[in-house]
Amino acid sequence: MPSEKILEVKQQQLATLKEQLNNSCAGVLVDYMGINVADDTALRKELRDAGVSYAVIKNTLLRRAVADTSLSGMDSVLSGTTAVATSSDDYVSAARILCKFADKHSNFTIKSGFLDGTIISVDKIDSLAKLPSREVLLASVANVFNAPIAAFARVIQAVVDKDNSADVTVAE
């Protein structure tokens, strides 16, 4: 029987993990078996720079954290080694970084993921990873809004240029 102190620490870890999962807009579960320390360190740095939280979690702890939630269907993938990457404000960065890493490392696999408390398949995670970054999407939207205004400005400038060329012809 574990001591009171150990139980208290584990309950605190469980509460922290539940809070992290609840406050995340997106998350990805991976099997990291067989990657070396240098690759793991580089992956963690890239995730940290993108604002993604990444941690190795025991399957029993994760199973208890998602019990009685909309994520409880992840039980089927909670075997072997499991790491969880979560983001509180970026839906794409964890999926993009981890899928890119999985493409380069055959022993690193994506297990499952979630978006806004709904479990998504590995195929959807791959699709999510292929989306452009938020900045690129915003620039595209801004360009779409700007295009009609720019076209109108070009038309007005053409009318002004035409009037100026007519004035020059009359003056000669």
Q: Are residues 147 and 122 in the same domain?
A: no
Residue 128 corresponds to which amino acid? L
Q: Are residues 77 and 137 in the same domain?
A: no
Q: Are residues 104 and 171 in the same domain?
A: no
Q: Are residues 111 and 137 in the same domain?
A: no
Q: Are residues 72 and 37 in the same domain?
A: yes
What's the CATH code of the domain at 60? Answer: 3.30.70.1730
Q: Are residues 47 and 71 in the same domain?
A: yes
pLDDT at 170: 46
Q: Are residues 55 and 113 in the same domain?
A: yes
Q: Which of 54-58, 72-76, 114-118, 164-168 has the lowest mean pLDDT?
A: 164-168
Nearest to 95 by CA among 81, 105, 84: 84
Please give the average per-residue pLDDT across 29-57, as a whole number. Answer: 92
Is pTM beyond 0.85? Reply is no
Q: Are residues 102 and 124 in the same domain?
A: yes
Hunting for tokens 């509180």 — which residue is that?
A: 88
Q: Are residues 21 and 8 in the same domain?
A: yes
- pLDDT digit string, tens, across residues 109-164: 999 999 988 889 889 988 888 887 777 778 888 888 887 887 878 888 888 888 77
Which residues span the domain enclosing 168?
132-172
Q: What is the pLDDT confidence band of residue 31, given thresholds at 50, 70 and 90?
A: very high
pLDDT at 48: 93
- Backbone torsions φ then ψ of 68, nearest 5 degrees: 60, 30
**Are residues 94 and 27 in contact, defined by beta-carbon separation less than 8 angstroms?**
yes
* Percentage with pLDDT > 90 across the chain: 26
Q: Are residues 107 and 64 in the same domain?
A: yes
- Backbone torsions φ then ψ of 86, nearest 5 degrees: -130, 150
Q: Are residues 12 and 97 in the same domain?
A: yes
Q: 143: which 2 tokens?
A: 């360009």
Instruction: Please tell me the total count of domains within the chain.
Output: 2
**Are residues 28 and 125 in contact, defined by beta-carbon separation less than 8 angstroms?**
yes
Q: Are residues 172 and 98 in the same domain?
A: no
